[in-house]
Amino acid sequence: MGNFRGFIAIDIPSFPKLLEFENEIRNTDSNIRLVEPKNIHITLKFLGDTSEDNIDKIQEIIKESVREIKPFAIKFSDTGAFPNQNYIKIIWIGIQNAELIKKIAYSIDEKLIKLGFEKEKRSFSAHLTIGRVKTAKNKEKLVQILNKYQNTDFFTHNVESIKLKKSERTPKGPIYCGEKKIIKKVDIPI
């Protein structure tokens, strides 16, 4: 078997306020690569180069990590930038009541060590990545939009499953493949 560039995530459906937010960002003419609305997700663990031989083991780790958890709601609100608004690399939407997401992410991270994956060095920050900024072009306009949406309630979503996904890099940005291209379906219900 071969390898794939993998990650574990919660898929999030597109929602109207997200499209509005992305359109305003797009209209700034900033040098930013926005995440396609169909690709929006919460990354629980980036795996990187992953052997297809480990798919079943990863699936078991995900199942173990959600065994005691029932479906739950999360609320998307607020906006911000990593590392900060003075030096914007990532634009994000925040997640309220993310305790269960953090618990799942930490459990997955800890359990994956036995498969040779490195433990995360940074603490987990639950967020939706909306775009990656390439240069400081029109940064002031981006900051204005971030401030405009800072106290906005975007959407509430019921988390019902976690997926092992494949990311393929292309010149136009990554393509995320879920159950169709990853050898077999790996969608773990909560």
What's the Cα-to-Cα distance from 133 to each of 31, 76, 83, 175, rounded to whole Å?
6, 21, 11, 18
* Consecutive H or E run containing 62: helix 55-66
Options 18, 30, 39, 41, the catalytic residue? 41
Cβ 166 vs Cβ 181: under 8 Å: yes
Alpha carbons 166 and 55: distance in angstroms, whole number: 11
Active site residue 127: yes
Amino acid present at 71? P
Options 111, 127, 157, 163, the catalytic residue? 127
Radius of gyration of the chain (CA): 17
- Identify the three-state secondary structure at position 118: coil
Active site residue 41: yes
Amino acid present at 190? I
What amino acid positions are annotated as catalytic residues?
A: 41, 127
